[in-house]
Amino acid sequence: MAGSLRAVVVGAGMIGAVHAAAIRATGADLAGVVASTPERGARAAEEWGLPARYPDLDAVLADDSVQVVHVCTPNALHVGQAEAALRAGKHVVCEKPLATAVTDAERLTRLAERTGLVLAVPFVYRYHPLVREIRARRLRGEFGAWQLLHGSYLQDWMLSEDAVSWRVDPRDGGPSRAFADIGSHWCDLVEWVAGIRFTELTARLDTTIASRPTGTGASFASAGTGPRAEVRTEDVATVLLRTDDGVPGTLTVSQVSAGRKNRLWFELDGADGSAVFDQENPETAWLGAQDGARLIVRDPGHGSAEQRRLSRLPAGHAQGYADCFTSFVADAYAAIRGEDPEGLPTGADGLRAARIVEAVLTSAASLAWTDVDETPRTMEALA
């Protein structure tokens, strides 16, 4: 029963609040929140209507009544916090990127496997019902052999040269910014929907705004006033990809495209048909054929079983990102109860993303085609 699970959110920023709402929406017990200081934690607890139970993560880990820890902090903190929670016997929902280095992602994934605890990673775009519909049609063979896979993930929240965020500094965000933050979502989604693996790629990373104010800033679009520093993470990534079967792909990633907010868009072109999904318009999907094209509409009364399962509202009453989160948390908790929900993104998917990010960084440094290296690096991964 989801209602019997007790969870704590670590990190009270933008996505922490989304997790908190999703936990409550599943009927589970949101027991508390941990922030960067006990004072901030107490403030967040009050805002979220909770008692201020936990001054820090250690207090959560010492509480035997807590079964699940949601890690919603800046990227560089994920590994340490998720590892501590797993070692304390807690199931973990860890925000992406699971880790900013492949070896750390391997260690975490292996630890979860060894302990039998669930480690789920919110690649939540998998939970749009029409994403599931396109995947179901691919599984039925509707599109034929892939000819080309392409798309983009565009945002504009870093367009101002005064925009700051902890994401800009590699010490907090990791060595890749735009690609690791949002390009990783696109790769996870397209690999999962199309049923392919990108095995090699060549990438260019560009920092279009050379300096920004220092300071961590809030999650999105804070204007900094501190002294300016050179930016060492990319605003734009352009990537050519090839799948294990030699299918070409292209991906454009940007955090500086005016008017684009979370425009994750993909087109999958097959021998017998094409499919398009646009995250900013998730209630319809475009299906192309040589003799015409049509829009399909999310509808719990029609379509694949997974589309119906994840349709939380009647057709025509728009559902979106927050519903994806609720469905994702519900599936993560189902996995904790021993079920095997379809398409739950786990530590293995977080590790896969870390490997793709590493290949992008390697290729951007060498300007060469680079394999996505699946070779285990650590003793933990080999054990």
The residue with tokens 């049509």 is 294
**Are residues 52 and 46 in contact, defined by beta-carbon separation less than 8 angstroms?**
yes
SS3 319: coil
224 contacts ligand NAD (rule: CB under 6 A): no
95 contacts ligand NAD (rule: CB under 6 A): yes
Q: How far is the CB of 317 from ligand NAD (least distance, A)?
A: 22
> Could you give the CA distance from residue 309 to residue 323 in angstroms, rounded to a whole number?
12
How many residues at the interface with ligand NAD, by CB under 6 A?
22
73 contacts ligand NAD (rule: CB under 6 A): yes
If the CB atoms of residues 81 and 274 are measured against ligand NAD, the closer one turns out to be 81
72 contacts ligand NAD (rule: CB under 6 A): yes
| Residue choice 2, 5, 7, 10 for contact with ligand NAD (CB under 6 A) | 10
104 contacts ligand NAD (rule: CB under 6 A): no
353 contacts ligand NAD (rule: CB under 6 A): no
Burial class (CB in 10 A: 0-12, 13-18, 19+), 223: exposed
76 contacts ligand NAD (rule: CB under 6 A): no
Nearest Cα to 204, choosing from 235, 174, 248, 244? 235
| Structure-block tokens of residue 48 | 């979220």
> Could you give the CA distance from residue 56 to residue 40 in angstroms, rounded to a whole number?
10
**Which residues neighbour 13 within 8 Å (Cβ) at sequence distance 6 or greater?**
72, 73, 218, 219
36 contacts ligand NAD (rule: CB under 6 A): yes
77 contacts ligand NAD (rule: CB under 6 A): yes
What residue is closest to ligand NAD based on CB? Answer: 13
347 contacts ligand NAD (rule: CB under 6 A): no
Nearest Cα to 94, choosing from 359, 353, 310, 277? 353
The residue with tokens 């189902």 is 334
**Are residues 108 and 94 in contact, defined by beta-carbon separation less than 8 angstroms?**
yes
Q: How far is the CB of 293 from ligand NAD (least distance, A)?
A: 29
What value, to the nearest 5°, has the Cα angle with vertex 238 and ends 235 and 242? 145
Q: How far is the CB of 107 from ligand NAD (least distance, A)?
A: 18
Strands 6-10 and 29-34: parallel
Q: How far is the CB of 57 from ligand NAD (least distance, A)?
A: 7
Q: Between residue 270 and residue 329, which ones bind ligand NAD under the rule CB under 6 A?
A: none
Amino acid at 187: C
Nearest Cα to 274, choosing from 296, 253, 257? 296
| Residue choice 15, 69, 118, 154 for contact with ligand NAD (CB under 6 A) | 15
7 contacts ligand NAD (rule: CB under 6 A): no
Q: How far is the CB of 175 from ligand NAD (least distance, A)?
A: 14
| Residue choice 103, 219, 252, 284 for contact with ligand NAD (CB under 6 A) | 219
Q: Between residue 157 and residue 216, which ones bind ligand NAD under the rule CB under 6 A?
A: 181
SS3 51: coil
| Structure-block tokens of residue 4 | 């019997």
- Contact segment (CB under 6 A) with ligand NAD among 12-20, 199-207, 311-319, 359-367 equals 12-20
Give the binding site for ligand NAD (CB under 6 A): 10-16, 34-36, 72-75, 77, 95-96, 122, 124, 181, 218-219
